[in-house]
Structure 1
Amino acid sequence: MIMRIFQVTTRPGKEQEFGRLFHETAIPLMNSTPGIVRVLPGAPRTESPREFSFVMVRESLEALRAFVGEDYQSPHIDPAEAELVESRSVKHYDLVDG
């Protein structure tokens, strides 16, 4: 299994708008994609009010590629969200059992 950690920092003042997309669109989408094992969405905290994250576990690298494409190491964002996002990052790890 592969673990993908995706982090987003919103543009100042765009936290609420991005938050709506995060809760109403992104979380349901991630939970419904083929090959997903677990989705752990992370909402902002007081000390980091513009930071959102997802920890996603997929069955395999092939399942991840089927969802995001061959360029799975780039932190893609939906074009509709681009104006809300200041920065984004993505990291991948092999999931350790136990």
Structure 2
Amino acid sequence: MKDETLGSGPVLRLFQVHTKPGCGAELIRKFARTSADVVAGQPGNQGYFFGHGVGADENYVVFTSVWRDLDAVKARFGDTWRDSFLPAGYEELIEDCSVRHIDVGTGWFVNIANDA
């Protein structure tokens, strides 16, 4: 996204974290309490989800928010939209983190129905 030109969206804002050992579960709890409040109800936000890696990747966690388009991301996060937004208390749980923006306007299918 060097030129920041995208399709019509939606755009995923993917916050990726490698936690300090044993801190993954606490960060997931913080996602539910604080990260959700950062995006929920914001203009252009269409939802969010978060989770953690399995097995050897248990210290890898993600928080993904879904936005109508890149303009909505920029409106919420301002000039620092390319940077990770860390609410208070996150720093002590994180070894490193990054944020990426993914245009999924050309391919999007989700079926989360419960199979009986």
The one of 1, 26, 39 equivalent to 1:17 is 26
Q: For 1:45 and 1:95, how far apart are their aligned partners in 2?
A: 25
Q: What is the root-mean-square deviation in Å for CA atoms of aligned residues?
A: 2.0
One-letter identity of the residue aligned with 2:97: R
Q: How many matched pairs?
A: 98
One-letter identity of the residue aligned with 1:61: L
Aligned to 2:113: none
User: More strand by proportion, 1 or 2?
Assistant: 1
The structure with more radius of gyration: 2
> Any conservation in 2 of the 1:27–1:41 contact (CA below 8 Å)?
no
Partner SS, residue 80 of structure 2: coil
Runs of 4+ in 1 over 3 A off after TM superposition: 27-32
Q: Which runs of 5+ in 2 are unaligned?
A: 1-8, 108-116
Identity, in percent, stands at 29
Go from structure 1 to structure 2 and tell me whether the alpha carbon gap of 1:74 and 1:45 turns closer, same or farther (over 3 Å shift): same
Give TM-score, length-normalised by structure 2: 0.69
Partner SS, residue 95 of structure 2: strand
- Residue 88 of structure 1 pairs with residue 97 of structure 2: yes
Q: Which runs of 5+ in 1 are unaligned?
A: none
